Every structure is written in structure tokens, then in C-alpha cells.
Amino acid sequence: MILVSGVRFNTLRIPDLSIYPGRTAIIGRNGSGKTSLLRLIAGLASPEEGSVTISGEPTGTHNVGWVDEYPDRNFIFSTVYDEIASSCRFQFIPCEETRSMVLEIASKAGITHLVRREIRTLSGGEKAMVALASALVTTPPLVVMDEYDSHLDSSCINAVEGLIGASGAQYTIQCTQNMELAARCDTVVFLYEGKILYKGRPEKIFTSLKDSCFYPFSWRLRDAGCL
């Protein structure tokens, strides 16, 4: 279990939040604190007060797959191959094994044609796909993704969903503005001005948000009795 206790960080004020294994979507308006919460969980930042633990251990000691909302902030190498391989190389995985891991994840993500490309030549969506492949290549138990889907079309999102499902990650935590995607997660956390307003199963959370635009549009159509 991931436990957030007594946390103050930037605008975040979270007395208590437990996240269980499975897929969790963090939703809320722009500026509600989603990125801050994800950075704490991924161990990329420490709270000013309080603690964040994963199975009782402090964050920062786990293998985490991270996808930043700024596509360009995901990369430290110039080619797609080196970028994806870096996750393996930093773990001292032998070259041959690294090579097969890179090619396998590229194939599953549908980006084999990009492997030899320089990252600076990629489109926004292609960069997002490379960042995801780099985050997932070593099958980390915790994957944290900050609006990876905002640069992708629906067919790429479906490919990534399959990739995440098959990755075997114990925890997948993402923030998104795509409520259809959030509705497919096990748990939804709704942040409002740095505080957790709702947390629970999608059916429960979106019922609380029925009068807002956060309610999935497909559900609204379903409720209208037309579908």
C-alpha cells in the first residue's frame, strides 16, 4: 500500500491517503495539485511536512517508471534507442539483453520505426510514446504517469493501455484530463485546490461529479437513455 500521511507540499494538504495496488487515476482542474502528488509518490520530491511510504518503505528507494507531462523533460539521450535503453543500462543489464528488451517494448508500443530516430525530430505524440516505452521497459512495480495521454490519439492510448495492462506493474498511477480513461481505472482520486475531495471506485466518484464536466461524456449519453 502507498500511504500519504500528514503531507504539506506546494499547495497540497493531504492528511491521509492510501493507494492500493491496481490502477489509480488522479483527476482535477489544472493547478489542483495533481503533478505535485505524483512527484511525491514517485519519489522525485519530498514533502515539506508528513511522509509518503510504499509498503512501509520511504519513497525514492523503489524502481519507478516515470512519465513527465512536459515531453521534453523525459529525455537525457539524443536517440530513441539510447533513451529507452538507458533505463536498462542504469540497472547494469547486459547489452544483448538490453537490446532485446528495447526492441520488444518498441514493438509492443508500435514505435519500432522510431528506434533509430533522433528524439529532437519526433512529434509531441511520438515523444510521449518513447517516454512511456522508457518508463515501462524494465517492468517497474510502480509506474507514475503525468498526463501521458494529452499528446496521444485514441489508437495510441489503446496501445498504451494494453502495454500497461501487460506490464505487470503492481501500481499504475496517472493523472489525466481524459475522463473516459479515468473511468476505466480501479480507483479515482479527485483533487480540488490541493485537497482530496473524493476517492473511491469510478462509479462512486463520478456520481459525486455528475453535475460537472468531469462526468464522462459517454456516461452522460448512457444516462440520457439514448445509448
Partner 1 sequence: MRVVFEDAEVTRERFMIRAAGSFAEGVHLVSGPVGSGKTTLALAATGLRTPKKGKIYMEGIGTFTLSQQFPEYHITGTTLNEEIASWGLKPDHILERTGFNGQGSRDPFSLARGELKRLHLACVLSGNWDLLVLDEPFSGLDCREKKRIAGEIATLKAGIVIIFTHEQTVFPRVDRLWELQEGFLRDLGPVPGSFPDWRGAPPLLRMLLEKGIVPRNLANEDLLEAVCRM
Output 16 or 72, the one with its CB closest to partner 1.
72
Interface residue with partner 1, options 54, 115, 129, 135 (CB under 8 A): 129
211 binds partner 1 (CB under 8 A): no
CA angle 8, 11, 16 (to 5 degrees): 40
Q: Which long-range contacts (CB under 8 A, 24 or more apart) does 94-98 make?
A: none
Site string for partner 1, 54-93 (x = CB under 8 A): ---------------xxxx---------------------
Q: Please state the φ and ψ torsions of residue 111, each to the nearest 5 degrees.
A: -125, 25
Which of 46, 51, 53, 177 binds partner 1 (CB under 8 A)? It is: 177
Candidate ranges 18-26, 82-90, 91-99, 178-186; the one touching partner 1 (CB under 8 A)? 178-186
DSSP 151-194: G--HHHHHHHHHHHHHHT-SEEEEE-S-HHHHTTSSEEEEEETT
Residue 162 makes contact with partner 1 by CB under 8 A: no
Judged by CB, which is closer to partner 1: 123, or 207?
123
From the list 188, 174, 179, the residue with the least C-alpha distance to 218 is 179
Grid cell listed for 113: 520505426
Which of 8, 29, 99, 199: binder of partner 1 (CB under 8 A)? Answer: 29
| Residue partners of 30: CB distance under 8 A and separation at least 6 | none
Q: Does 20 bind partner 1 (CB under 8 A)?
A: no
> Residue 46 is placed in which grid cell?
519530498
Q: List interacting residues with partner 1 (CB under 8 A).
A: 28-32, 34-35, 69-72, 117, 121-126, 128-129, 147, 150-156, 177-180, 212-214, 217-218, 220-221, 224, 226-227
